[in-house]
Chain A
């Protein structure tokens, strides 16, 4: 079973991602802030990370930078952010992330994107 880490601070959005990904038969783990995500990525092997950008303690981009700085290996990342500014999309590209989904996301497109990495 493919393991996905969802990093999302909004409880309802977390529930949404968790429910639909679980329904798709993925093993889903939750991280509610950037630091929790950092610890989990450091200590576990995930197949995919679903990452929000605005997060408590450590925001999404800072998390990615810290992982790179600390040379911690991590899998493909799909960003789901409520920020629709182009500057953030460019930042994501800077980290080699191709999929930047702006909230509200289309569930079907989201599942398709997730599957494109895991199947």
Chain B
């Protein structure tokens, strides 16, 4: 390291540590001290754009007043790839015979230049020390400016974070409110179910008591009416149970107790339970079982799935129709299909059908009691068994519900 370079670095270090890069003193000190490094020299610093008042004042405070160096030559230099260049200049107040120009730049961005005018031709050590000094100054200035930009960005970021936090708080509050509302709704449904059961107990109980004729015999018409009351009561009970089930699912309170069960046996039982219904419409029900082993399922809930789908199939299949139940396995999955040749479901409803309170066609359901919750509950029950339910259907051709229960084979 040459002596000059060493001195320059020490000096710059000194100035930079002593004063604020944005103050007038910094630049007058800098220029004054630097010119002491070089014999009979003049120094000037220029900033190209966006230089604020302090920096301009710093230039003004230097000894530089008039310029014999033509602007054009400086512009050419600034547009060139050179970092440093040497001009021969006509001596005047500022300029001596030789003038070094060096860019103030950070990476590729030039933001100013410095001039050093000397009487003697600058040698390599002068050039090197000047260059080193300017590099450090560039970094210091840019660092400061970047700091400013950074501070602005930080402020913007902070504002954004505060805004986001506010939004988050709002969402959190709303989420809490919604959760409370949802809980209230589930509680309401559970209560409704409870409140409806009490009078229903009397309705069904008294009609059962009359039906058993323990308090005296009934004539045909009375028997028929009592039967009607009981059927309506049971329908109402079915709906209450569905609402309760749904509220349990929504409150995540549905119990799931899986055990090793025989789906084959379970399906046959459901077919047996529903026999009066399909026999009544002269519908044939065929069960084709290709898996006779066991699965891990909640017995009651697995039956409920089948009961819901099969009773639906019976409901929507005309007299003399045909229902087929297929069961099979796919690796460790259990596949169950329920196919009818009933009225079918228009494609545009396929996505809606599992949603709550959906009735597709009043013509077919007007005589049927239904909450529109059956398939919603069925889907939830299938989900409880890690299964998926889909359907294939065409209007007037029939509907097939397909279930794939993941990994439940024993």
Residues of A within 8 A of B (CB): 10, 12-13, 15-16, 19-20, 23, 54, 80, 82-86, 102-108
Contact = CB atoms under 8 A, between A and B. Distances in A.
Contact of B205 (A13, A86, A102): A13
A107 B198 contact: no
Interface stretch (B79-87, B189-197, B392-400): B189-197
Contacts of A80: 201
A84 B205 contact: no
Given A13-B202, A23-B215, A84-B244, A107 B209 contact: yes
A63 B237 CA distance: 29
Contacts of B200: 103-104
B interface, how many residues as a size bin? 20 to 34
Contacts of A108: 208, 212
B241 interface: yes
Given A16-B201, A84-B244, A85-B190, A104 B214 contact: no
Nearest to B204: A104
B255 interface: yes
B202 A82 contact: no
Contact of B198 (A10, A19, A106): A10
Interface of B is mostly: helix
Contacts of B199: 12
A84 B198 contact: no
Contacts of B195: 82
Nearest to B214: A23
Given A13-B202, A104-B233, A105-B205, A82 B214 contact: no
B205 to A, nearest CB: 4
19 contacts: A12-B202, A12-B206, A13-B205, A16-B205, A20-B205, A20-B214, A82-B195, A82-B198, A83-B194, A84-B244, A85-B253, A86-B253, A102-B197, A103-B200, A104-B203, A104-B204, A104-B205, A105-B201, A108-B212
A82 B197 contact: yes
Contacts of A85: 190, 253
B209 A82 contact: no
Contacts of A16: 201-202, 205-206, 209
B246 to A, nearest CB: 13
Contacts of B203: 104
A19 B201 contact: no
Contact of B202 (A10, A23, A86): A10
B349 to A, nearest CB: 31
Contact of A86 (B197, B212, B255): B255
B363 to A, nearest CB: 31
Give the top 5 A-B pairs by smallest Cβ distance, nearest first: A82-B197, A103-B201, A12-B202, A104-B201, A107-B208
Interface string B212-224: 1011000000000
Given A104-B233, A104-B237, A105-B201, A54 B194 contact: yes
A80 B197 CA distance: 11
Given A16-B209, A86-B255, 15 more contacts: A10-B201, A10-B202, A12-B206, A13-B201, A13-B205, A20-B214, A86-B253, A104-B200, A104-B201, A104-B203, A104-B204, A106-B208, A107-B205, A107-B209, A108-B212
B208 A103 contact: no
Contacts of A104: 197, 200-201, 203-205, 233, 237
A61 B190 CA distance: 19
A20 B205 CA distance: 10
Nearest to B207: A107
Contacts of B204: 104, 106
A82 B201 contact: yes
Contacts of B214: 20, 23
A13 B200 CA distance: 10
B362 to A, nearest CB: 28
A102 B253 CA distance: 18
B253 to A, nearest CB: 8
B205 A82 contact: no
